[in-house]
Amino acid sequence: MSKLAGKVALVSGSGRGIGREIALKLASDGALVVVNDLDADPANQVVADIKALGSDAVACIGSVTEKDFGERFVKTAVESFGGLDIIVNNAGYTWDNVVQKMDDEQWYAMIDVHMTAPYRILKAAQPYLKKFHSQEKEAGTEIYRKVVNVSSVSGLNGNPGQLAYSAAKAGVVGMTKTLCKEWGRYNVNVNAVAFGFIQTRLTAAVSDESTINVQGYEIKVGISDQVLQMVETMIPLGRPGTPKEAADAVYLFCLPESNYISGQTVVVGGGFEL
């Protein structure tokens, strides 16, 4: 039997890249998934792909930084599938600059998407997690729920040019450790994965400047072939990770086998640390 059969999962930023692979991985093991993306088309495609796997999914479109998004995201899960078992805070992007060239807008964009958005989602989830646990306790059953927050090696060790991103991802680790202590009484495991160099559109090799549009901002992404080759030499396994491998690490923290693991941050980087 699938280990996640019937589990209800929220995966933010799951229309593309790592988030898409996380949603598909959980669904392939039976989870019912709420898919999120800024844009409807990629989110709806992931929903269709999940249904093709034999599981079920719904889309919750919009930016995780919208003030009411957390409540809307959580309610979508509860109203669509009747529960909430797994929360993966994956949505995010990089907007790099050294401190002297960074403005407040850039700083707060990184804090908002990587810290404030997960905080709002988790805050919105708390009443449901408490209620479900109380009901199960009265019934004499024991069920563990899972939160997996996405951090980065930049948040653990810092990285030149990523002051705001690194600070936000370090905050994710603190959030993880604190909620582990607050939510242990609800039988909720709260862990984090800190990704190293994973192949996505944000880290793709580019010869010219490439950008993504995030709510009206054109943000430079990608790295040069020279930097890519240098980074690859620093990875003990000799190559960047794939989005599927990143998703596999998140999946490990969603399994029953992780029921006595909480408050931990695992580096997923092929041995690479900045």
* 3-class SS string, the chain: CCCCCCCEEEECCCCCHHHHHHHHHHHHCCCEEEEEECCHHHHHHHHHHHHHCCCCEEEEECCCCCCCHHHHHHHHHHHHHCCCCEEEECCCCCCCECHHHCCHHHHHHHHHHHHHHHHHHHHHHHHHHHHHHHHHHHHCCCCCEEEEEEEEHHHHHCCCCEHHHHHHHHHHHHHHHHHHHHHHHHCEEEEEEEECCECCCCCCECCCCEEEEECCEEEEECECHHHHHHHHHHCCCCCCECHHHHHHHHHHCCCHHHCCCCCCEEEECCCCCC
**Contact indicator for 273, 157 with CB cutoff of 8 Å:** yes
AA letter at 209: E
At residue 273 the predicted structure's pLDDT band, cuts being 50, 70 and 90, is confident
**HSE-up (13 A, CA, CB side) for residue 211:** 8
pLDDT at 224 over 80: no
The residue that leads in pLDDT, 149 or 224, is 149
pLDDT at 121 over 70: yes
Give the model's pLDDT for residue 102. Answer: 93
Positions marked active-site: 165
What is each CA distance from 2 to 7, 30, 46, in whole angstroms? 10, 6, 20
Candidate from 108-122, 142-156, 221-235 with smallest mean pLDDT: 221-235
The pTM of the full predicted model, rounded to 2 decimals, is 0.92
Question: For 178-211, what is each residue's pLDDT tens digit?
Answer: 999 999 999 999 999 999 999 987 665 555 556 6
Give the model's pLDDT for residue 228. Answer: 73
Question: For 14-60, what is each residue's pLDDT tens digit?
Answer: 999 999 999 999 999 999 999 999 999 999 999 999 999 999 999 99
Give the model's pLDDT for residue 34. Answer: 98
Average pLDDT along the chain:
93
Question: For 241-260, what is each residue's pLDDT tens digit?
Answer: 999 999 999 999 999 999 99
Give the model's pLDDT for residue 215. Answer: 65
Q: How far apart are CA 73 and CA 62, in angstroms?
A: 9
pLDDT at 274 over 80: no
Share of residues in the chain with pLDDT > 70 (%): 91
**For the residues 94-118, what does the mean pLDDT come to?**
95
All domains of the chain in start order, with CATH: 8-200+242-267 (3.40.50.720)
